[in-house]
A and B are shown apart, each in its own frame.
Chain A
Amino acid sequence: MKKLILLSILSVLVMSCQKEIEFKGKSKDPVMVLNGVVENDSLFRVYLERSVFFLSSENASVKYISSGALLKVTNLTTGEVYTMNESTFPSPNLYEFPFITTPNTQYKIEVTHPDYPSISAEMITTAKVNLNSVDTVSVIKNQEKLLKITFNWNDPTTENYYMVRVRQDIESAEYSYTNYLYMSSTDLSIDNSTNTDIDGSVYPTNTFLFTDTKFNGQQKSMEFLANYYSPSDDPMNPVDEKVYCELISMNKATYLYYVSMTASLQTDFFSEPVKVLSNINNGFGIFGSLNYSVKKL
């Protein structure tokens, strides 16, 4: 239906013609792009690249900054300082610091490079929120077999930002892949506006982002109906299947970054443009924190 409207409106362009034009705006110099969404109890990892002029035909690999940059991470809670000036081999843009990320810790990162303006960012890592349990039951809805999955956890009294999804790892003698189950939810905390079609139908999605505004500090149960197809039915081709339920808690900047990214990826011809959040001073990217709590089904 969207196509019909789009095509109909664009039919007025029958007489249109196109031509290449010169860009006459202010040309921006490239800036450094720092992407580091760190996880507790893991090595502190960030990725360093640079931005590219939108009309540049540069190869993607040119964006990587593997040397020449000086990265300085300061644990503002303890005062410890770590530096790196080469990317972690063999990755051309990954900088893996030799320390473990800890929760509720304030980190500052500063990057200097002779060719680009210096960038910096600060954030406080979030504490992990653990899943208490995950319950599943098969249900039939509209003659379709679905899997009802209920996530249970205790929401801390602080402001919390979450992502939920269900990962399916498939491995057989011939292939292996990871799949994320498409699910739907009518929970009041879930905003289905981005996955609702013009005819009003809510279509399933594989990632749910939400805040704890409606259940702050309470025990929370959240139900999802998943389109689940087991690949293990074929006796001629046995597969090893593992299904993981993931509750991912994150800090506010990371949440807003993902929300704005989702909106930006779903824009259509008519949409207002979306500015993706960046919390990097003088540069682009995200310096954030997240934690996984995973239950295997």
Chain B
Amino acid sequence: MRTLLFLALFFSFLSYSQTDDKRTISGYIMDEKTGEKLIGATILDTVSKKGAATNEYGFFSLTIPNKAAFLRISYFGLQTKYVELPIGKDELNLSLFKVTEIDEVVVSAKRQVESSNSGTIELQLDKMNKLPLIFGEKDILRVLQLLPGIKSGGEASSGIYVRGGGPDQNLILLDGVPIYNASHLFGFFSTFNSDAISNVTMIKGGFPARYGGRASSVLDMRMKEGNMKNYNLEGSIGFISSRLLVEGPIKKDKTSFCVSARRTYIDALFRPFLIAFEQVDAGYFFHDFNAKIQHKINEKHHIYVSGYFGLDKIFVKDKPTTYYDNDGTTYSNRTSSRLQWGNSIGSVRWNYKINPKLFLNTTGTFSSYNFKVGFEDETKIKYTDGSKGLEKYAFGYDSGILDWGIKSDFTFIPNPNHNIKFGIAETYHTFTPGISYVNIKDGNENYSQKNGSKTQYSHEISLYFEDDFRISERFKVNIGLHQGSFLTNRKFYSIPQPRLSANLMLNDKSSIKFGISRMAQFLHLLSNTGIGLPTDLWVPATDQTKPVIADQISLSYYHELPKNMVFSVETYYKKMNNLIQYKEGVSFISGSQDWQQKVTVGQGWAYGAEFFVEKKKGKFTGWLGYTISWTERQFDELNFGKKFYYRYDRRHDLSLVLTYDINDKWDVGLVFVYGTGNAMTLGTQVYSAAPNSAFWTYINEPTITNFEQMNDYRMPAYHRMDIGANRKKIKPYGNSILSFSIYNVYNRQNPFMITREINENGNPVLMQTSLFPLIPSVSWKFQFDFEKMKKTKEEKTLK
């Protein structure tokens, strides 16, 4: 802390110790239409040829010679603006207009060849609508899965597996707050309502030092801040869910809000039928709610308050059954059960422009994830003498994690060659890794018992320092150190994590990038299936299960091709230590002993190459991504200590994304994905157990199915094609988009699981279970632009 204070004071001093021959221009760049701050907008002084980019809070600082400046401000999808700033005017808060004709697609805003960080992708969300939807839903994680190095777990999985890491190794941040379970409907949808998100950055290698806490990737998402200018209402109606977003100014250009909600209605559709025909009230739904308020106190101080609440729930209630005893006593019995899980997060953020070169962001965060199972059996008794009784059995199982945190991030930009970031963060974790309870009431007697792992408390503290340093016009490095510390159960870990990324521009069109980084993860996810089920448990590093440490080295080549095309190839090698996995035969529902007794600790390796070609502009756009990779694991207590392929080891992974604008009204999209089948354990030899009466108390000894190695069999390859078309209509009130999509257009039966079963002829056969066949969907998206409505009304009045 003292170091941080010293750094802050030191850089604050440096900020003012400016010579007269320099001037520093600083401020925010925003979207003219919404007032939203733009992340990654570039500001170039065309006179001195010095440039800067806005940070994750829309702030920039540019130090140039003390002369009149002629600035070029540009941002992907918005009209470039030129501004002349005379000497003496150093504050610039500027808005950019939207271009009328947008022809770029989803990926990459900035010139990737110039960035010093390899493995970083910025997703352009407003273009996602061109891609085919499933059930009318556009999903951020599913789009990310179409990029090289980022894989899906399988058919029903929105979990992401980045460069051989597990789904727990991704730091998923929403407004700087970690989200612990990023999926709805057992992984089919992600928890993120894309309408409420304004910016998505994915980092899979070459990690800047400001990020820490996970081993494999960072997914940094920012929620919309709310339109500062006008009210806007948009939404969509699909087959299984609907969404609505409202945003607008509370006080124009001063305070704004953005609220969005989404809910499925599968339960509403099926419940009446279940009640009528099956005598049972059952259903499933998920909903989520995002809200954000921003308030501009003055040009120096901005305050943001945001929250997200999501819930999935399955419930089953039997119809009461009544029966009678011989003596006439009446019993009325009813059982009910429920399973629910959800995330809640909140943050309060304060942005403070200390001076033109020094910027501070302080955030207080809250994040909670809970999983609950409940079962109740209730019998109401009416005795013949008129007295009443009650017998009740209730069982519950809870697990979850709760975080409270605070962090301060400083950005110091002394000159265009240095962009220094440093900060400190503290998170207080409360882990509830699986507690079950039983309550029994029998007449006047009550019995209750709690079992399971103890609640654990931990402190996670991190300090970082990084400098994005332009050494020469052609050579740039991002160098830094992230010091992560963790205190749990009197065990203290402190792990220095050095980071280095370098970019050598070979010429104006091509560059070579190099990255080396160490990432430490103080939390583990206990998972049987690895597909991101809500039953997965978050647990802390302990003296028995040390923090995961991942060392990654990457080398890449970027080249800008003619016709607005970009080509890149990235190679990587990653070594992961202290991974945990359930021991053989153990699962989250087997036994109630402490989780530490259920797991074994091991290591992992991942290496491969990712190829990517993207056409960014024109009517016809899209990309082709291909990854060849290997991922292995080794645990002393699994597979007799031998190495084995990770379940999601995927030798070949290919994705093709194409979009075409037919005219102003129609655009079409196509997605094709191919991936080597997941690895699975399949015993291929069957034999009898030892016929010794000392052990088997069965009449016949059991049979043993032998497998040579864990995960030594490959499921059939996964491939699928989706197509979609959008019809846009400009309405007096705003816009209307009708989307038609077909998921899995050639009805490929992709494997979800493979089992040995006996067929109708009594022969053992291999059966493949597939989940989603061809699924057509239609959805309608609407947008009410109140400014436009006002203008239309005014025009009509004038006429």
Interface residues of A (CB under 8 A from B): 1-2, 4-5, 8-9, 11-13, 15-25, 27-28, 30-31, 33, 35-37, 47, 49-57, 63, 163, 180, 192-201, 206-207, 248, 257-258, 260-261, 263-276, 278, 284-286, 288, 290, 292
Contacts and interface: CB of A to CB of B under 8 A. Distances in A.
A15 B712 CA distance: 28
B695 A17 contact: no
A63 B688 contact: yes
A204 to B, nearest CB: 13
A261 B771 CA distance: 33
Given A25-B713, A194-B590, A47 B582 contact: no
Contact of B582 (A21, A192, A271): A271
B764 A56 contact: yes
Given A206-B697, A207-B695, A271-B528, A15 B773 contact: yes
Contacts of B293: none
B770 A19 contact: yes
B44 interface: no
Given A11-B284, A33-B688, A266 B590 contact: yes
B584 A274 contact: yes
Sorted nearest first, the 10 A-B pairs with minimum C-beta distance are A200-B451, A263-B585, A270-B587, A35-B690, A196-B591, A270-B528, A200-B592, A274-B585, A51-B685, A51-B687
A57 B438 contact: no
Given A1-B373, A200-B592, A268-B589, A52 B687 contact: yes
22 contacts: A4-B337, A20-B766, A20-B768, A21-B767, A24-B714, A30-B685, A33-B687, A35-B692, A49-B688, A55-B764, A199-B438, A200-B450, A257-B690, A261-B689, A263-B584, A271-B582, A271-B586, A272-B581, A272-B583, A272-B584, A273-B707, A285-B690
Nearest to B701: A35
B762 interface: yes
- Chain B interface residue count: which class? 35 or more
A35 B689 contact: yes
Contacts of B156: 12
B60 to A, nearest CB: 46
Contacts of A15: 771-773
A33 to B, nearest CB: 4
Nearest to B772: A15
A20 B756 contact: no
Nearest to A287: B690
A17 B773 contact: yes
A297 to B, nearest CB: 18
Interface in B401-443: 436-438
Nearest to B771: A16
Contact of B589 (A2, A33, A258): A2
B687 A49 contact: yes
A278 B449 CA distance: 41
Contact of B756 (A2, A9, A55, A276): A55
Given A16-B752, A199-B395, A5 B373 contact: yes
Contacts of A19: 749, 767-768, 770
Contacts of A194: 585, 590-591
A63 to B, nearest CB: 7
> In the complex, which of the residues A4, A248, A284 has the most CB atoms of chain B within 10 Å of its own CB atom?
A4
Contact of B590 (A22, A193, A276): A193
B451 A199 contact: yes
A52 B592 CA distance: 37
B754 interface: yes
A270 B598 CA distance: 13
> In the complex, which of the residues B528, B581, B597, B714 has the most CB atoms of chain A within 10 Å of its own CB atom?
B528
A167 B718 CA distance: 53
> In the complex, which of the residues A49, A200, A278 has the most CB atoms of chain B within 10 Å of its own CB atom?
A200
Contacts of B535: 5, 9, 270
A23 B638 contact: no
A12 B186 contact: yes
B590 A268 contact: yes
Given A4-B339, A4-B375, A271-B586, A57 B762 contact: yes
A284 B706 contact: yes
Contact of A16 (B436, B640, B770): B770
A22 B766 contact: yes
Contacts of A24: 714, 716
B182 to A, nearest CB: 17
B694 interface: yes
A284 B687 CA distance: 8
B612 interface: no
A17 B747 CA distance: 12
B685 A54 contact: yes
A264 B764 contact: no
A284 B695 contact: no
A265 B705 CA distance: 11
Contacts of A35: 688-692
Interface stretch (B140-148, B570-578, B676-684): B676-684
Given A19-B767, A272-B586, A261 B688 contact: no
B328 interface: no
B593 A193 contact: yes
Contacts of B592: 196-200
Given A1-B397, A12-B156, A268-B587, A55 B766 contact: yes
B185 A51 contact: no
B770 A17 contact: yes
Interface string B698-722: 0000101111101011101000000
B768 A21 contact: yes
Nearest to B751: A21
> In the complex, which of the residues B450, B688, B768 has the most CB atoms of chain A within 10 Å of its own CB atom?
B688
B80 interface: no
Given A263-B585, A271-B585, A51 B772 contact: no
A169 to B, nearest CB: 12
Contacts of A292: 694
Interface in B704-757: 704-708, 710, 712-714, 716, 749, 751-752, 754, 756
A184 B732 CA distance: 76
A52 to B, nearest CB: 5
B436 A198 contact: yes
Given A35-B690, A47-B691, A199-B438, 6 more contacts: A1-B375, A15-B771, A54-B705, A57-B764, A196-B591, A273-B585
B666 interface: no
Contacts of A4: 337, 339, 373, 375
A54 B707 CA distance: 10
B185 A12 contact: yes
Given A49-B688, A54-B686, A257-B690, A18 B587 contact: no
B763 interface: yes
Contacts of A284: 685, 687, 704, 706
B707 A275 contact: yes
B446 interface: no
A14 B337 CA distance: 19
Given A51-B687, A200-B452, A271 B337 contact: no
A54 B756 contact: yes
A49 B704 CA distance: 13
